[in-house]
Chains A and B, each alone.
Chain A
Amino acid sequence: DQQVKQNSPSLSVQEGRISILNCDYTNSMFDYFLWYKKYPAEGPTFLISISSIKDKNEDGRFTVFLNKSAKHLSLHIVPSQPGDSAVYFCAESGSRLTFGEGTQLTVNP
């Protein structure tokens, strides 16, 4: 039973445009969500998080939106840069992290 789902395995955008990565979850008890970024042959690195008491959190070019009624969160990257090309995982933080399958983002120069 996949509790955190990322339905888009890949996304390709032009440099300078907005990247929107999506994530759906099933358990309404989840109260803390995170996004991780992963380069090949490296471990995931923390990017940004959001508590369920908020609907938006912003850090520089990265903004995470949480829609609790739809059980949906999204990560916006604007403007996108070629160095943002990586796999992005959303995760729910309960007693341990539960990850989605990941979305491969490619930012074309």
Chain B
Amino acid sequence: NAGVMQNPRHLVRRRGQEARLRCSPMKGHSHVYWYRQLPEEGLKFMVYLQKENIIDESGMPKERFSAEFPKEGPSILRIQQVVRGDSAAYFCASSPPGRGPDTQYFGPGTRLTVL
């Protein structure tokens, strides 16, 4: 059973460009969480999604950031008009249906660098 997959592993963007980060949950998992880790900090919750639904986006910046988890395909975290402060590691986690956040399995992360 493959683990949580994220791609790309490394992404470089110039200021003003768009960044798209993809997350494929573990097989059978229908819950996806996105976290951001800024340098020298812990992971900060961004958004919790189930298939076709955003359950909790209280950790998402109000502008430029959006997330989706379509019926088919991976979850996407989209950052428009990136700024240098968006440089961070972005981690996705998934959990099976009917289970809480304490059963999350994390992907390897995408390291975004904004030049």
Residues of A within 8 A of B (CB): 4, 6, 32, 34, 36, 41-46, 49, 89, 93-102
A-B contact pairs, 20 of them (CB 8 A): A6-B42, A41-B108, A42-B109, A43-B93, A43-B106, A43-B107, A43-B108, A43-B109, A44-B91, A44-B106, A45-B106, A46-B104, A89-B42, A89-B43, A96-B33, A96-B59, A96-B101, A98-B45, A99-B42, A100-B42
**Interchain nearest-CB distance for B41 vs A (Å):** 6
> B102 near A93 (CB under 8 angstroms)?
yes
> Given the complex, which residues of A lie within 8 Å of B71, measured CB to CB?
none
Given contacts A41-B108, A43-B108, A44-B106, whether A99 and B101 have CB atoms under 8 Å apart is no
Chain B 16-52, CB within 8 Å of chain A: the 1/0 string? 0000000000000000010100001111110010000
> Given the complex, which residues of B lie within 8 Å of A41, measured CB to CB?
108-109
> B41 near A101 (CB under 8 angstroms)?
yes
> Given the complex, which residues of A lie within 8 Å of B102, measured CB to CB?
32, 34, 49, 93, 97
| Given A43-B107, A99-B42, 19 additional A-B pairs, CB 8 A | A32-B102, A41-B108, A41-B109, A43-B91, A44-B106, A46-B105, A49-B102, A89-B42, A93-B101, A95-B48, A96-B45, A96-B48, A96-B59, A97-B93, A97-B102, A97-B104, A98-B45, A99-B44, A101-B40
Of A34, A43, A44, A99, most B-chain CB atoms within 10 Å: A43
> Given the complex, which residues of A lie within 8 Å of B98, measured CB to CB?
none
> Given the complex, which residues of A lie within 8 Å of B40, measured CB to CB?
101
In the complex the two chains form, what is the Cα distance from A61 to B40 in whole Å?
A: 28
In the complex the two chains form, what is the Cα distance from A36 to B42 in whole Å?
A: 11
**Interchain nearest-CB distance for A10 vs B (Å):** 11
